[in-house]
Structure 1
Amino acid sequence: MGTIHLIRHGQASFGAADYDQLSELGTEQATALGVSWEASGWAPTDAVAGGMKRHAQTAIAAIDACGGDGYDVDARWDEYDHLALARATDPTALGADPKAFQASLNRAITAWMGGDTPAGETYVQFRGRVLAAFEQVVSQATSGRSVAVFTSGGPIAAVVSHLLSGDDSLFQRLNDVVINASVTTVIVGQSGTRLLSFNEHAHLPRDMMTFR
């Protein structure tokens, strides 16, 4: 049996000029994940990260902390352009507090999934590239191998929705609750590909737990 560990990046820099950059807390979250791996004597046999800076920074902090090797890059694990989506619904969304921003984003995602394309990439295109990247990782997760994937909440929600329901019906509910530096584990075996756990974050102290 092989395993896949889908890891959301640490907290990014919401409200800053460059969102795609871990905050100080985000780096601490990623390091805490790696430290928990090292403490249990575990490290991934393979690792891949999306093409965004926050993915790379999370991968580096976690892998360095557990003494693992490097990682490959696959931009198909990149997040959808959530900033553009939110602005399309509310031009002032980026100046709002995180709760108000999330409300604007959720309205935009509903429209996006229904066929609106304010961000350039359609939802169908996003889902297609993510699921194709996931299938490639499934092929890597052969018996005894553990593949760590450093990505974002959207790709994790897309994969889990399809594992649980076979469609996109759970995407938005799952996307709302993925915690920074959390781990979602999938097992790959003779009976197929199955979700083992979602959104694990016991490695994070309570005061380090964030959603955005």
Structure 2
Amino acid sequence: MRIGYLVRHGQASFGKKDYDALSDLGHLQARVLGRELAAREITPDLIIRGGLRRHRETADGILQGLEQHVPVAVDEDWDEFDFQHVMEVHKPLYRSRALMLADLARTRQPKAAFQAVFEEATARWIGGGHDEEYDESFPAFAGRVEGALERMTERGPEKGTVLVVSSGGPIGLAASLLLAGDTSLWGSLNRVAVNTGVTKVIHGRTGLNLSSYNSHTHVEHDRELLTYR
């Protein structure tokens, strides 16, 4: 592999019973990205996706937009961390979906309130002082993403292109590893991830290098297409 594109999934169904399903807008975002890739004559030799429904549906939408046959492989190490579990450990009230939605609704800005709790919960998870309380510690999450990133370089033709469909967490983690050599930038990078944002990496003589992060020119022309959650 010479070039890799890491794509965050389309908008999922925030606040719905099955968050993992793409919203109607999420499906459209995926197709728009596929059409943009086709217009730029970028056809990957291989698509690797995580094992979540939103990854599968995003990959399907990209393929519809591309109008090309591309083989698809699944690597579950590109899956997002279980943010619901991380939030529940931090705020046990949120083990009840109904109570969580009611708590967020009281703020009159549920998406902003969710983001605030999310950042508090992930800061505790990252802190490392309570690793035993989580099904997957932050170091374990970082380790599996690093492994997935390494495997990506071994997939596809030697000078080919691989497109990975994943989530904001793994992609931000991968970008932090490539930029800083550690996970220190993960929080800042993850915070600004756009749905179907594209991160480009290049595999050369010095190994894997980050070329661009979270590019989303394909949705900037339409404010309704530009979403972060």
TM range (shorter): over 0.9
Amino acid of the structure 1 residue aligned with 2:149:
F
Amino acid of the structure 2 residue aligned with 1:79:
E
CA distance in 2, matches of 1:83, 1:119: 11
Amino acid of the structure 2 residue aligned with 1:40:
R
Q: 1:142 deviation in Å? A: 5.5
- Is the Cα contact below 8 Å between 2:45 and 2:71 reproduced in 1? no
Deviations 1:147-185 (A, max 9, x none): 000000000011011111111110111111110011000
Deviations 1:58-86 (A, max 9, x none): 00110121023131001000000111212
Q: TM-score, normalised to structure 2's length? A: 0.88
Q: 1:144 deviation in Å? A: 2.6
Unaligned runs of 5+ in 1: none
Equivalent runs, 1:105-184 vs 2, <5 Å: 105-115=118-128, 116-117=130-131, 118-140=133-155, 143-184=158-199
Match of 2:204 in 1: 189
RMSD: 1.6
Change (3 A) 1:151 1:94: farther
Q: 1:35 deviation in Å? A: 0.6
Misfit runs of 4+, over 6 Å: none
Match of 1:99 in 2: 112
Question: What SS does the corresponding residue of 2:29 show, helix, strand or coil?
Answer: helix
Identity %: 39
Aligned length: 212
- Is the Cα contact below 8 Å between 1:187 and 1:195 reproduced in 2? yes
Question: What SS does the corresponding residue of 2:218 show, helix, strand or coil?
Answer: coil
CA distance in 1, matches of 2:31, 2:52: 18
Question: What SS does the corresponding residue of 2:16 show, helix, strand or coil?
Answer: coil
Match of 2:216 in 1: 201
CA distance in 1, matches of 2:14, 2:62: 21
CA distance in 2, matches of 1:8, 1:42: 17
Question: What SS does the corresponding residue of 1:203 show, helix, strand or coil?
Answer: helix
Deviations 1:28-53 (A, max 9, x none): 00010001011222211111000000
CA distance in 2, matches of 1:130, 1:105: 20
Change (3 A) 1:94 1:131: farther
Deviates more, 1:185-194 or 1:14-23: 185-194
- Is the Cα contact below 8 Å between 1:10 and 1:29 reproduced in 2? yes
Amino acid of the structure 2 residue aligned with 1:85:
V
Question: What SS does the corresponding residue of 1:173 show, helix, strand or coil?
Answer: helix
